[in-house]
Amino acid sequence: MGRMTAAPLPPAPAPALVLDALSRRFGAVTALETISLSLAEGEILCLLGASGCGKSTLLRLIAGIERPDSGTVTLSGRVLSGPGVFVEPEARGIGFMFQDYALFPHLSVAENVAFGLRGQPRGQVQARVAEVLAVAGVGSLAERYPHMLSGGESQRVALARALAPRPGLLLMDEPFSNLDQGLRETVRAETLALLRQMRVGAIIVTHDPAEALAVADRLALMHRGRIEALAEPRQVYHSPPTLYAARFLGPGTALPGVVRGGVLATPLGRFDAPDLAEGAAAVAFFRPQALSLCDPAEGAAARVTACAFLGAQERLSLRLEESGAEVQLDLPAAQPPRALSRIGVRLDPDAVRVFGPSAQM
């Protein structure tokens, strides 16, 4: 199997996708509620969330596979869905890549890729098929059938098929989830390089926070049919707007407390909370990397209750002696403290995020 190459291809049209107050209901269940966002030319947006949060439904509304109950979908200034307007999927200029790739088993690789080019002159179709297969690194597989392909080859063929009609936007539903870990990272990197080379905007659905953080220009975290957070990955990770977003994006500890005089007091320190009301129930959230070891007399004394080896690091589960609160600490794996040993910990105040009642829902 060949690798994807950097052969030049004509740039795709600017996506300029705009979603305005999209909603979708299934009976009494609201799957999506007033979703609004936009996508710039060549931008890669990840829709992240747990199963059932609405991310795949949103993808289907953009593609035209389903109709919204309200709101509009606009691509390059053209309304695709809206009051009195609905453009069929095949006329939207949008590519769709399914989780299971959905290759036609009775067609060869070349015929699968040519499927979306029907109606064009035969010579142009053959040239375009050869071009995208070569760029996707599967030019030598043109005459094979889907059952003869590996998982990585199937993914590349599906990508070539989606890109063959020169879509203005590519939608990808869990495109890497069927690949094993090592191949997933390789194919993912090659796919992103190809999308950026062709300047094709893409919306990628994933349930994996690590994947979303690694690939997205912007990340939209969805929860219960709404967008919980929408920003660049680093911003969402380091400054999550809600406790749900903080916890979804990675492990951490939430220490509860009550705000007094604009300050939240916790067993690991006092943290400013100037915007929260007096007496408000709040939590201080921090990740395992925010804690460091120190002498018990110079920080908070704790007992190690468990150690988990994570490869390059060791994650310690700790119980603070004074309060009994349980926290986690990450250390290099070379010399972790023994279980039940007594240590001291110190919390970096700049790595703490305070959430009031409204941000804990």
Among 170-179, 291-300, 336-345, the minimum mean pLDDT is found in: 336-345
Using left for φ > 0, alpha for ψ between -120 and 50, and beta otherwise, residue 248 falls in alpha
pTM flag (> 0.85): yes
Question: Which tokens hold the place of 157?
Answer: 């063929």
CATH number of 17-244, picked from 3.90.190.20, 3.40.50.300, 3.40.47.10, 3.40.50.150: 3.40.50.300
Among 260-269, 301-310, 337-346, the minimum mean pLDDT is found in: 337-346
The per-residue pLDDT for range 267-281, each reduced to its tens digit, is 999 999 988 999 999
**Rounded to whole angstroms, how far apart are CA atoms 222 and 88?**
26
Residue 51 contacts by C-beta under 8 Å, 6 or more apart in sequence?
A: 207
The per-residue pLDDT for range 57-115, each reduced to its tens digit, is 999 999 999 999 999 999 999 999 999 999 999 899 999 988 888 899 999 999 999 99
Instruction: State residue 13's pLDDT score.
Output: 46
Among 66-70, 89-93, 142-146, 180-184, the minimum mean pLDDT is found in: 180-184
Instruction: State residue 205's pLDDT score.
Output: 96
Residue 47 clears pLDDT 70, i.e. is over it: yes
Confidence of residue 179 (pLDDT cuts 50, 70, 90): confident
Instruction: State residue 2's pLDDT score.
Output: 61
Instruction: State the distance between the two ends of the chain, measured CA to CA, in whole angstroms.
Output: 48
Confidence of residue 11 (pLDDT cuts 50, 70, 90): low
**For the residues 20-39, what does the mean pLDDT come to?**
95
Domain boundaries, given as residue ranges, for the chain: 17-244, 252-359
Among 16-25, 33-42, 182-191, 267-276, the minimum mean pLDDT is found in: 182-191
* pLDDT, averaged across the chain: 90
Instruction: State residue 358's pLDDT score.
Output: 81
Instruction: State residue 357's pLDDT score.
Output: 86
Half-sphere exposure of 320 toward its Cβ, with a 13 Å CA cutoff? Answer: 20
Instruction: State residue 29's pLDDT score.
Output: 93
Element (H, E) at 304: strand 300-309
CB atoms near residue 245 (< 10 Å): 22
Instruction: Tell me yes or no: is domain 252-359 CATH 3.10.129.10.
Output: no
Residue 267 contacts by C-beta under 8 Å, 6 or more apart in sequence?
A: 255, 300, 320, 322, 323, 325
Among 139-153, 293-307, 336-350, the minimum mean pLDDT is found in: 336-350
Confidence of residue 242 (pLDDT cuts 50, 70, 90): very high
**Rounded to whole angstroms, how far apart are CA atoms 160 and 5?**
13
Instruction: State residue 236's pLDDT score.
Output: 96
Residue appearing with tokens 């001291």:
344
Which amino acid is it at 6?
A
**Rounded to whole angstroms, how far apart are CA atoms 211 and 219?**
11
Q: Do the beta carbons of residue 347 and residue 325 sit within 8 Å?
A: no
Q: Do the beta carbons of residue 2 and residue 138 sit within 8 Å?
A: yes
